[in-house]
Structure 1
Amino acid sequence: MLLQLGIMGVLVALIPLTLVWVSADANKYRKLVWVTLFLTFDLIMFGAFTRLTDSGLGCPDWPGCYGHSNPLLAHEHINAAQEAMPTGPVTWGKAWIEMTHRYVAMAVGVLIIILMVIAWRRWIKSGRTDRNFRPWFPTALFLFVCLQGAFGAWTVTMKLQPVIVTIHLLLGLTLLAMLVWLGARQNEHVPVSALGRKLTGPATLAFVLLVIQIALGGWVSTNYAALACEDFPLCHGKVVPEMDFANGFSLWRHLGMTADGDFLPFPALTAIHWVHRSFAFVVIAVVAWVAHKALKDPGLRKTGRWLLIVIALQLATGLATIYLDWPLAIAVVHNGGAALLVSLLVMLNYKARYATPVAAGIARIATIPARDAQKA
């Protein structure tokens, strides 16, 4: 079964690899980095779809489906489960959604292995001098995708335990952020002025706040608390509704249960939803402010403009999930918006730190007194 699953992952990976091979881009390594990034973004979106359609246990074992490499071979088990519970966690549709998610995840792993191998070969071939192929970051990506795979397995074997599923989501977005950083290193950027470099601190703060908000959003999703407050801007008609923070934010517990094994009370779900909703306004304010500042620098203007667009999209989709009773398509788009914000803020942080003009270094040398310059 493992060999068959590995072959499936390679076959899926051959599609983006072929696109890179036949592309007109002279820098195939750079192209492969960005294609891997795009596939990882798709994987995160499809992971959200898997979670939101309650397909996480569509195949209740790991890495295969009832010990097989695809649902077709497990048809007897799936038929029996579907007949026993037609709307339960195991159906034909959910099994295929879950296994498709795993196939794409394996393909991303294959592409990251290829990136690592290319980096090591090119770096050694260059006599360990080519900075564009330093292998440490691609190697870290490989180790990180192995960790992500482990949490993917625990997500299934621990029956969608909220803290494991939330960590799995955060690790997926961290993998995306690492690929954006690697991709940024391969690109040429418009130089950033001294004004733009002053945004390094605020951009870092915005990124940290966004990570906290995504963790809160993941906690909402994994606890199925998206409709715990069905009105806005109030919640159950109150600014501060009845909430149970102790049970809502008790991390180590089973899905829908308290740490003591009782059913999770509704005020706990309200607390989870209300905290995510309230903190969103802090994140929106800070990210919008950083994006507005970025518009003033030519090197950051494009990224800042996209940040404003996506943060507005996040606000709109967040409100739509409440007013429209959580439609699946909008919920998936909301998850994708979070991934886009992560990507854009990583790019903004990279540019603010490293896209500095060469002339700036020359100008600093020109300010050194002639006597000191001669000593240098």
Structure 2
Amino acid sequence: MNKLNAYQRVALLTVLATLFLILVGGLVRAAGAGLGCPDWPKCFGVWIPPTNVADLPAGFDPTLFNPVHTWLEYINRLIGVLIGFLILLTFALSFRYRKTDPIITISSAAAFVFVLFQGWLGGQVVRSGLEAGMITIHMVMAMVIVNVLLYATYRANRERWFYPLDAKNRSFFKKIGITLLAFTMVQLILGTQVREMVDVVKNTLDLPREMWLDTENLLYRIHRSFSWIVLILAVVLFFKIKKEHVQGIFRRLGITIVMLIILQMFLGLGMERLGMPGVFQLLHLVSVAVLICAEFLFVLISNPSSQTSLRARTRA
């Protein structure tokens, strides 16, 4: 197997870096630092925020300043800018494929356009004061970006991720992968909206932490019920992998998906029973982001048409 070329290395790094940004964003969210910088694109009216309330520029309410929250949000923004440059570099390097596989170049260009939109959207989220609905859109866009990048990375590395399967099993795995991906995306949207609901309760009602989550709320009950559907699909996937003695990348990816789904269940239960601890919120968000990427990659690898075209290209 040949070494990774420049595009393959940078594209893979960019996917991982984008997932890291989601982790940092989750940390900002769990810490309640989303408005650590109350303006955009500057932070308290300056490009480098102060570390002490005495250094605040005129016109800002000192009660809004929390140095930990401010610098946490500021670092989040700096990492976002770095990711933007990485995606730009990925796009530039993708031109080596413009004739042999133009979809790689198109996908890389789409990721760059999406990240520009995401930067603008981040500003709107701040200006709205973390308005309900805006955060959900922001999170969904983050997943779109990372998976568009993942798709481009996959196409540039298909021969490394190829696993031989008969047509019947490949079709089954593709179908269950798509179903899992669809339900997990619905869960992501529902879960983000439940988190927004918790924020409203936390910020408007003087309730103890263990009462922030209304377990009788219809939205939460739907979110919790859907999780059982995802778990059942994961069990089906697990036993199919065992029955067919699937090995290699397919087995590793499938087992990873199953383990991440089980982890999601435990983290969700922990948040419900333990009063929404911040570390559980963070792990719940990051693990679902990794899960969606794993499911999407599983679908790509199990796609019969992409593997057929790969074999034809290899023979040629």
Indicate whether the TM-score tops 0.5. Answer: yes
Match for residue 280 of structure 1 among 227, 231, 236: 227
Match for residue 70 of structure 2 among 86, 95, 101: 95
1:192 and 1:351 in contact (8 A); partners too: no
- Whichever residue aligns with residue 231 of structure 2, its letter is I
Q: Structure 1: how far apart are the matches of 2:272 and 2:214?
A: 17
For 2:32, the equivalent position in structure 1 comes to 54
Deviation at 1:175, TM superposition (A): 1.3
1:78 and 1:92 in contact (8 A); partners too: no
For 1:319, the equivalent position in structure 2 comes to 269
For 2:91, the equivalent position in structure 1 comes to 116
Deviation at 1:38, TM superposition (A): 0.9
2:23 and 2:286 in contact (8 A); partners too: yes
Report the CA distance shift for 1:148/1:327 in structure 2 as closer, same or farther (over 3 A).
Answer: same
For 2:130, the equivalent position in structure 1 comes to 160
Moved more, 318-327 or 131-140: 131-140
RMSD of equivalent CA atoms: 3.2
Q: Structure 2: how far apart are the matches of 1:56 and 1:349?
A: 34
Deviation at 1:324, TM superposition (A): 2.2
Equivalent residues in 2 for 1:70-109 (5 A)? Answer: 70-72=48-50, 76-77=55-56, 84=63, 90-109=65-84
For 2:14, the equivalent position in structure 1 comes to 36
Q: Structure 1: how far apart are the matches of 2:310 and 2:121?
A: 46
Higher helix share: 2
2:198 and 2:213 in contact (8 A); partners too: no
Q: Structure 2: how far apart are the matches of 1:360 and 1:31?
A: 23
Q: Structure 2: how far apart are the matches of 1:176 and 1:333?
A: 18
Match for residue 121 of structure 2 among 139, 145, 151: 151
- Whichever residue aligns with residue 163 of structure 2, its letter is P
SS in 2 for 1:162: coil
Report the CA distance shift for 1:116/1:167 in structure 2 as closer, same or farther (over 3 A).
Answer: same
Deviation at 1:204, TM superposition (A): 1.1
Q: Structure 1: how far apart are the matches of 2:303 and 2:311?
A: 13
1:310 and 1:337 in contact (8 A); partners too: yes
Q: Structure 1: how far apart are the matches of 2:11 and 2:310?
A: 29
- Whichever residue aligns with residue 330 of structure 1, its letter is F
Q: Structure 1: how far apart are the matches of 2:310 and 2:86?
A: 37
TM-score (norm. length: structure 2): 0.83
Q: Structure 2: how far apart are the matches of 1:320 and 1:309?
A: 16
Larger Rg: 1
Deviation at 1:151, TM superposition (A): 1.5
Size of the aligned set, in residue pairs, is 297
Moved more, 71-80 or 202-211: 71-80
Q: Structure 1: how far apart are the matches of 2:57 and 2:74?
A: 13
SS in 2 for 1:149: helix
For 2:209, the equivalent position in structure 1 comes to none
For 1:335, the equivalent position in structure 2 comes to 285
Match for residue 345 of structure 1 among 287, 295, 300: 295
For 1:243, the equivalent position in structure 2 comes to none
* 2:221 pairs with 1:271: no
Deviation at 1:267, TM superposition (A): 6.7
Q: Structure 2: how far apart are the matches of 1:343 and 1:290?
A: 17
Q: Structure 2: how far apart are the matches of 1:219 and 1:331?
A: 13
1:223 and 1:269 in contact (8 A); partners too: no
Report the CA distance shift for 1:305/1:134 in structure 2 as closer, same or farther (over 3 A).
Answer: closer
Deviation at 1:220, TM superposition (A): 1.2
Report the CA distance shift for 1:169/1:218 in structure 2 as closer, same or farther (over 3 A).
Answer: same
**Cα deviations by residue, 1:207-255 (Å, 9 ceiling, x for unpaired):** 1111000000000112226999xxxxxxxxxxxxxxxxxxxxxxxxxx8
For 1:356, the equivalent position in structure 2 comes to 307
SS in 2 for 1:69: coil
SS in 1 for 2:198: coil
1:119 and 1:133 in contact (8 A); partners too: no
Report the CA distance shift for 1:358/1:175 in structure 2 as closer, same or farther (over 3 A).
Answer: closer
SS in 2 for 1:224: helix
Deviation at 1:357, TM superposition (A): 6.4
* 2:155 pairs with 1:208: no
Moved more, 99-108 or 349-358: 349-358
Indicate the structure whose relative CO is greater, using CA pairs within 8 Å and at least 6 residues apart. 2
